[in-house]
Amino acid sequence: MVIKQQAQAGTFESSDMLVLVEPVSEGTGRVIELHSPVMVQFGKSIKEEINNALDEYEIKDVRLICNDKGALSATISARVETAIRRALQIQDGVLPS
């Protein structure tokens, strides 16, 4: 599916993650920017979890900015999924008011 608009999910609370999704021109691929306090040890596995969520919605081109505050896998999947669904306009709330 194709990302049409900017959207956001999550918070800066502890054990959470703030995810921002932006459309990019076709063919750009997935541009993932991850900021995490456990980047060195877990950067790879967090990116894998993000990619799994993007795979589920068959997103090829996207810019995704993640600010991790110590989120666990289930939280990462949930937050990324909500951001994608908002960007695809299949869930309410684009940017939290």
By beta-carbon proximity to other proteins, the closer residue of 26 and 92 is: 92
| Segment interacting with other proteins (CB under 8 A) among 21-29, 33-41, 54-62, 84-92 | 33-41
Rounded CA-CA distance 57/79 in Å is 14
| Segment interacting with other proteins (CB under 8 A) among 13-21, 23-31, 51-59, 84-92 | 13-21
Residue 94 has a CB neighbour count (10 Å cut-off) of: 15
Contacts (CB under 8 A) with other proteins, residues 45-74: 45, 70, 72, 74
By beta-carbon proximity to other proteins, the closer residue of 6 and 75 is: 75
Residue 25 lies near other proteins (rule: CB under 8 A): no
Residue whose token pair is 């969520």: 53
Min separation Cβ 68 and other proteins, Å:
9
Residue 40 buriedness (CB in 10 A; 0-12 / 13-18 / 19+): exposed
